[in-house]
Structure 1
Amino acid sequence: MSPSPRHPDRDTIPLGDIELHDHYLPALPAGDYRIEATHTLRTAPDENAQVVGVPSRAVQRFTVHAPQVAIDTTAVVARQPPEASGGRFAEVLPHLVLGDPLLPWERPLRGASRTTPWLALLVLTDDQLTGGTTAPTRTVSTTVGGFLAPDPAVLKPDLPLEADIGLDDPCDWVQVPTTVFPEVAPRLDEIRYLAHCRGANTGDRPILGIEEDGLFSVVVANRFPAAAPPGSPPDAGTKNIVHLVSLEGHERILVDDPDFQGRTSVALLSLCSWSFWAYPDGKAHFRDLAEGLTRTPDGSRPATREEMWLRLASPYQDTGDTPAARRQVARRINDGYVPLPYLTRSGETTYGWYRGPLTPVLPLATDRVTTATTADSLIGYDPAWGSFDVSLATAFETGRALALADAPFAQHLIAFKHATRDLADTLYHQATSSHLPPDPGERQRPPTARAAFGTLLDGHLLTALGAPPASPGGTWSPPAPPPPPSNPTQELSAFLRSDTARSAVTRALDEDDGLKEHLTPVVKWLGRLLLLHPVPFTHLVPDERMLPPESLRFFHADPNWLDALVGGALSVGAQSSRDTLQDRIVAAAVRARAASEAARHRDTERDRPNENPADPPDTPDTPAPVPGSVCGLLLRSALVSGWPNLAVRARDRAGEPLPVLRMDHLSPTVLLCLFDGVPAAVELGEPQEGFRFGVEDDGLIPLRNMLRSPHSGRDLPLGEQLGPDVTFSVLDHLRPSADGQVRVLDVGSLIPALAAALDAAHGTAVGPIGPADLALQMVRVPEAIRFNGPEGGR
């Protein structure tokens, strides 16, 4: 995937809005180039002057690299309809979203304008492909040399390979019969309308390793999927196969009446492919899946608000007429606890209550968590019921185990502790040594004996050494050493507890020549730990019944659990009471910096792929606010796999977006979101760059405003529908076909008819229709589901 410049206004686009552009052209198309320079020396400035010697000539060859026979799979951001999905897709135009906005225009097509893409989406059925029967999408895997080898029955592309492409390089290709190709392939002058560029704010999406510049390219198919006719059985699905193909080298057959030179099939490079099933009735629509999240796991009834918290369903009621023991169980389960087997240190088998960091209630913070030095000190015991609470002890052990398992972090942490110990020793000796003279006034004492000697050299010592020796005035005797401390350990501990030592150590955490160098990698790792990045999923959701398939669960983040987690990680390397005391001195400052790192972590990850040297450095010198109450959601649904860049937006009571601390896929079907604050509303929506294309069930599309200024007495925002009855029939502009399942847009007929309809609807000429204009009219309204807080409906 070729790099692209970061969108300068990436995060200024409002969440949910998109920018549409006709194309995003590279400065120089891909290919092999030659620069030739000739220098002629003449006897005079006049062009007719005599030439001296032979003209000098220099030639420089170079290649502009771009994908040609294969693309990086990470370039594909989304496929619509989703891969392997089934639904009512007959009125949806399949499309592909690419994370590289330049890719469709990086290669030129012969005989076409610079704005014509070299890629196209072909929608086919199994009977419209030849060969490749062992692959789900009927592709054939071979080498470039094998693909280009002449075949009397197969028309191969006239493909000039770039210098970096070898005949042994792998590639995939498909065969389309010559009887099918003219029906489904776009014409050369139609291709430019089937791709465009989009800009979107990516702050409400998971980070998927894509270029986080907010620019995407979209390639749209010209054919509606094949589906069983209305009235067919609901399970009468039709398999549709979509191929992103290269048209380079096939320009001569992208016409109405192509000459296939006696061949029976056409060979096309397949750069990406997937399949889906189109049914008469919907089975995997966004709306159906989203509405399913609002129901109980068995789908029998709508779920209550209480049932959408991350917890088990209690078998008992927390009411006055419930027996005390069962009521205790109900209260524990309603608070998010799960009973799990527990083996005590003495070998006894019992059970313990466990609750992870994601809870349906917000526990009160307790100071004992931040001062704990062992996991056992955090085990809770309820003598009234004889039960253990192992939640915080598990968090402590988890943090310690994760720290020990990460060798680089453990090394950084030990180095930080050694540096802190050396600093504390230096401060203690400075305070107790009689060899460092006290400084008069408010001038600071030299930190070491070496520094004190340097101070003498800067004074009158050299002058005194050059003067003649003076006669001794009396008998000299060496100074008496100070008496040894009666209890060195106690005095050192008292010094470490003093405000002087604490302030000096804390100050050194921010100094370049202090502890900052050792602290920075420790803080970065702890920031990720606070966002639960390395924590096993079973520690987050200890029972699968808490998050059943096709469910959405909300939670608070337990600050005590997170404090215990960090405490366990920081306990590595503590070998004595002195180490424990030293850790307590810096713990508060380290935890605060780790929290700031957690707050800035997502922004750092979004900017990392760009590696823009102009961006400000991400260091503790630019502190981020410490997160407050952290809340979030867990989504387990086909929405996650079908819409991998699903948009999740949380807003506060004022309607302002809440900062996203983390949004990641924990598995292909599980999404975790953490927000800085308690949301008043959460919205799950189709991503802006992945809007669906197509028509309504009646084949109509609503026409949208294309003028920024008021017209015909109406002041509508750009892209707003002109009215409920202002529509256009797209299905009136299909290519003739004897097969009712082959419905291909006749773009040559569609564009002028759509332009005339828009002019009439606006009451004025709107100008020529480009790819972005067509996308604006053909895009289907994105669907979203909104969950409100207790004061509103769902």
Structure 2
Amino acid sequence: MTGKTRTDTAPLVEFIQYHQPPLDSGTYRVDLTQSLQTLQSDKVSTPATWERSLTFVVTGERFTALAPSDVAGVFPPEGSLGDHLNVLPHITLTRSTLPWERSPDNEDPNLPWLALLLFRESDFTSPEDKPVERILPLRELTSAPGATFPPFEEEVGQDPDDSVSVIEVKRRLLEAVLPKKSELGYLAHVRQLKGMKKEDPSASTNTHATVLCNRLPQEGGTSTVYLVSVEGRYHQDSEEFDFGGAGEEALIRLVSLKRWSFSCLDPDQSFTALLSKVKREPSTLRLTEEVETEAAPYLARGCVPLPHALRQGDKTVSWYHGPLSPGDVQEPVALPALAADELLRYEARTGMFDVSYASAWELGRRLTLRNQAVSLALYQWKRTGRLAQRQEEQRLRTRSVSRMPFRSVRTPPGPPEVVRKWFEDLRDLRGVPFEYLVPDARLLPAESLRFFRMDWRWMKCLLDGANSIGRVTEADRRLELRRRSASPLEEADRLITGFLLRSSVVSGWKDLLVDGYDVLIEDNTFQPPESMLNLARMERLNDNVLLCLFEGDVKTVDIHLQPEAMHFGVDAPVDEAPRFRKTPRDRETGSEILERQFPVPWKKDEALGVIHMGELAQKLQNVQSRSEYTSAPLALQMIEGVQKVRFSQVTP
């Protein structure tokens, strides 16, 4: 049975109850028999028979910790700090059959053999109460003292010396958080993304298994989640976990395949809350001034006054702006240049120099000289090109005098790969120091977002400075002008826009996704992927600053989490009792049915935070009037979606 959710133009997400493997773990034998008879005139020859047997082994996960490639994601993210109070933690597995490759009672193949157990800091009144994490050799899994583990049969491929990660938990705590056997079926499902284009690289790996936890995290503290094996640990004829007669204080040993921890903080520190408080005034990368002065036009262009040491030793203050401009810049620049001083500008209105383009040129030159491999390759390529150019000119003069017929001129070779890659990186501002991008901290204060437009005149100066290696005389400059077709420079007139975000969100959520659009979008309507601008570069410049460059005029930006951050949970807690509730959704439209909201059913009480998944599923089944209810429609009801915050550029 499946559950589905979609928007009109979004890919279809299908929830499936389970995905059983074609073959269970074990040893298999294939017997092949072939008989051959031939007819010769009126009699039949003696039949010939050949027999062949092939034995093979199917091995699945059992005792070995999951590899990073087996895990598509966990939520809440490992080590995260956020508002996760109403979240049911989950793990998403890349192999969609993994939870059903074994069985909790060795009978029902529809029940998963994996479960998530969440433990809170508040569960342990003393250090002795905390789960003990150990690594044991497989041979000691049942015999190691201190905890109990039921007997098992080794399978082909399992070595007694294999290391096994285990946790040992007191029975009274384990009994309080473990789901019933029938509840395991509600806590695992398969999520499949349909409607993706074949050329999409993720189209072939769009089916994942998800295992849910049945317990809410600790408020204002740290929670640890363990993915454990419950293979054969439930009674075949009852709902209960088999504790093997252990007492309340006895330790029960469980195989742990994955663990992670996270913390719940104030709701004001959540992803959405932090981004909602980001400062947007001014909307572009510039300083503002309340009083109109002679400096106002320069500040509006993103300029800031900075100390400037002149060549003669004098000191002054000059204007500087980086490549991230508040708007389009129309000032012309004359390139190529022999020195940075050619690009200095004197602003008569304020009696100050503008060193922006001169600084860009000098920066490009210094960065390239510092990269010895690039500077040597660039110089050698230019030197070879100059010799070839002179030889070609001499050949043309000789043929002109002798009046011999002209042959086509050979196309000069392009720059070496290391040079080409260097200039491509510079065009995307890779390697450019942060202080050249944001020369004054007031341009990008804490918890702020600023849009910008790339000043390609600044970029041309940067690239020309990088290309100035080997350019010494006026003749070198004239030769470069004639050999533009063989230059590593491309016309830097493409429209690039973007934004800088300085926020604790950048450091707190490592896997952010960003989408940009060239139209202003006032609401939160879904936008199809084909309407997005190409993201030329997205990179963290330091712990809390994110730079994004788009090919085109970006006007609206969506910042959201990875698809794996699509999580499951109940309604956010409220002040009055009951604090936690669940609002069902209409099975056709997906809209919430507010009048059918009900309190979350607990296994014991709300303080423990363990949800009675069987009763919760029954309540949702009654609301939806379904004859059968599985993990697929339950997942659709419990899903909370990925958090997304939309920013639109404000026109000044």
Normalised TM-score (structure 1):
0.65
| Counterpart residue type for residue 278 of structure 2 | L
Secondary structure of the corresponding residue to residue 563 of structure 1: helix
- How high is the sequence identity, in percent, across the aligned residues? 24
| Counterpart residue type for residue 407 of structure 2 | R
Does the 8 Å CA contact 2:74/2:89 hold for their aligned counterparts?
A: no
Does 2:72 match 1:175?
Answer: no
Report the alpha carbon displacement of residue 356 of structure 1 after superposing the two structures with TM: 2.0
Report the alpha carbon displacement of residue 70 of structure 1 after superposing the two structures with TM: 3.7
Counterpart residue number, 2:613: 747
| Counterpart residue type for residue 429 of structure 2 | L
The correspondence of residues 698-709 of structure 1 with structure 2, limited to 5 A, is 699-707=580-588
| Counterpart residue type for residue 285 of structure 1 | S
Does 2:135 match 1:265?
Answer: no
Alignment CA distance shift 1:60-1:270 (3 Å): closer
Counterpart residue number, 2:452: 555
- Give 1:729's match in structure 2, choosing from 582, 598, 616: 598
The correspondence of residues 333-482 of structure 1 with structure 2, limited to 5 A, is 333-368=299-334, 370-382=335-347, 385=350, 387-406=352-371, 409-410=374-375, 413-414=378-379, 416-417=381-382, 420-421=385-386, 424-425=389-390, 427-434=392-399, 445=407
Counterpart residue number, 1:780: 640
The correspondence of residues 123-142 of structure 1 with structure 2, limited to 5 A, is 123-128=118-123, 140=133, 142=135
Does the 8 Å CA contact 1:109/1:251 hold for their aligned counterparts?
A: no
| Counterpart residue type for residue 93 of structure 1 | L
Secondary structure of the corresponding residue to residue 179 of structure 1: helix
Counterpart residue number, 1:631: 497
Does 2:60 match 1:94?
Answer: no
Residue-pair matches, total? 616
Secondary structure of the corresponding residue to residue 268 of structure 2: coil
Does 2:217 match 1:225?
Answer: yes
| Counterpart residue type for residue 600 of structure 2 | L
Does the 8 Å CA contact 1:81/1:94 hold for their aligned counterparts?
A: no
Q: Could you report, residue by residue, the CA deviation over 1:353-376 in whole angstroms, capped at 9, with x for unpaired residues?
A: 3322223233225232x4224333
Does the 8 Å CA contact 2:70/2:95 hold for their aligned counterparts?
A: no
Report the alpha carbon displacement of residue 348 of structure 1 after superposing the two structures with TM: 4.4
Counterpart residue number, 1:532: 429
Does the 8 Å CA contact 1:85/1:642 hold for their aligned counterparts?
A: yes
Alignment CA distance shift 1:275-1:685 (3 Å): closer
Alignment CA distance shift 1:258-1:700 (3 Å): closer
1:572 and 1:166 map into 2 onto residues whose CA distance is 64
Alignment CA distance shift 1:421-1:198 (3 Å): farther
Counterpart residue number, 1:298: none
Counterpart residue number, 1:694: 569
Report the alpha carbon displacement of residue 83 of structure 1 after superposing the two structures with TM: 3.2
Structure 1 residues without counterparts, runs of 5 or longer = 1-11, 204-208, 228-236, 295-302, 448-503, 509-514, 596-625, 708-715, 760-764
2:155 and 2:144 map into 1 onto residues whose CA distance is 19
Structure 2 residues without counterparts, runs of 5 or longer = 1-5, 40-44, 522-530, 574-578
1:242 and 1:590 map into 2 onto residues whose CA distance is 57
Secondary structure of the corresponding residue to residue 377 of structure 1: helix
| Counterpart residue type for residue 635 of structure 2 | A
Alignment CA distance shift 1:62-1:192 (3 Å): closer
Secondary structure of the corresponding residue to residue 19 of structure 1: strand
Alignment CA distance shift 1:744-1:520 (3 Å): same
Counterpart residue number, 1:490: none
2:587 and 2:161 map into 1 onto residues whose CA distance is 48
| Counterpart residue type for residue 744 of structure 1 | V
Does the 8 Å CA contact 1:24/1:101 hold for their aligned counterparts?
A: no
RMSD of aligned C-alpha atoms? 4.7
2:401 and 2:20 map into 1 onto residues whose CA distance is 67
Alignment CA distance shift 1:14-1:659 (3 Å): farther
1:586 and 1:66 map into 2 onto residues whose CA distance is 66
Alignment CA distance shift 1:62-1:571 (3 Å): farther
1:103 and 1:118 map into 2 onto residues whose CA distance is 11
Does the 8 Å CA contact 2:118/2:213 hold for their aligned counterparts?
A: yes
1:336 and 1:218 map into 2 onto residues whose CA distance is 49
Report the alpha carbon displacement of residue 382 of structure 1 after superposing the two structures with TM: 4.0
1:148 and 1:594 map into 2 onto residues whose CA distance is 67
1:253 and 1:127 map into 2 onto residues whose CA distance is 30
Does the 8 Å CA contact 1:96/1:218 hold for their aligned counterparts?
A: yes
Does the 8 Å CA contact 1:132/1:174 hold for their aligned counterparts?
A: no
Secondary structure of the corresponding residue to residue 269 of structure 2: coil
2:628 and 2:486 map into 1 onto residues whose CA distance is 62
Alignment CA distance shift 1:256-1:114 (3 Å): closer
Does 2:32 match 1:19?
Answer: no
Does the 8 Å CA contact 2:319/2:354 hold for their aligned counterparts?
A: yes
Alignment CA distance shift 1:103-1:377 (3 Å): farther
Does the 8 Å CA contact 1:200/1:689 hold for their aligned counterparts?
A: no
Report the alpha carbon displacement of residue 273 of structure 1 after superposing the two structures with TM: 0.5
Alignment CA distance shift 1:420-1:265 (3 Å): same
Report the alpha carbon displacement of residue 554 of structure 1 after superposing the two structures with TM: 2.0
Alignment CA distance shift 1:690-1:401 (3 Å): same
2:21 and 2:169 map into 1 onto residues whose CA distance is 34
- Give 1:69's match in structure 2, choosing from 48, 65, 69: 65
Report the alpha carbon displacement of residue 729 of structure 1 after superposing the two structures with TM: 2.7
Q: Could you report, residue by residue, the CA deviation over 1:677-724 in whole angstroms, capped at 9, with x for unpaired residues?
A: 3333333345554234222246444433434xxxxxxxx4xxx31654
1:106 and 1:371 map into 2 onto residues whose CA distance is 67
| Counterpart residue type for residue 663 of structure 1 | M
Report the alpha carbon displacement of residue 337 of structure 1 after superposing the two structures with TM: 2.8
Report the alpha carbon displacement of residue 784 of structure 1 after superposing the two structures with TM: 4.0
- Give 2:271's match in structure 1, choosing from 263, 269, 286: 286
| Counterpart residue type for residue 703 of structure 1 | P
- Give 1:274's match in structure 2, choosing from 261, 265, 272: 261
1:213 and 1:576 map into 2 onto residues whose CA distance is 58
Q: Could you report, residue by residue, the CA deviation over 1:639-690 in whole angstroms, capped at 9, with x for unpaired residues?
A: 3344433343333337553332222333443322222333333333455542
2:175 and 2:272 map into 1 onto residues whose CA distance is 35
Q: Could you report, residue by residue, the CA deviation over 1:613-664 in whole angstroms, capped at 9, with x for unpaired residues?
A: xxxxxxxxxxxxx742x22112222333444333433333375533322223
Does the 8 Å CA contact 2:99/2:209 hold for their aligned counterparts?
A: no
1:421 and 1:14 map into 2 onto residues whose CA distance is 60
Secondary structure of the corresponding residue to residue 536 of structure 2: strand
Q: Could you report, residue by residue, the CA deviation over 1:95-137 in whole angstroms, capped at 9, with x for unpaired residues?
A: 3456x4648559544637667655443221125469999xxx9
Alignment CA distance shift 1:65-1:140 (3 Å): closer
Counterpart residue number, 2:525: none
Does the 8 Å CA contact 1:101/1:197 hold for their aligned counterparts?
A: no
Does 2:540 match 1:665?
Answer: yes
Report the alpha carbon displacement of residue 731 of structure 1 after superposing the two structures with TM: 0.7
The correspondence of residues 102-141 of structure 1 with structure 2, limited to 5 A, is 102=96, 104-105=98-99, 108-109=102-103, 111=106, 119-128=114-123, 140=133
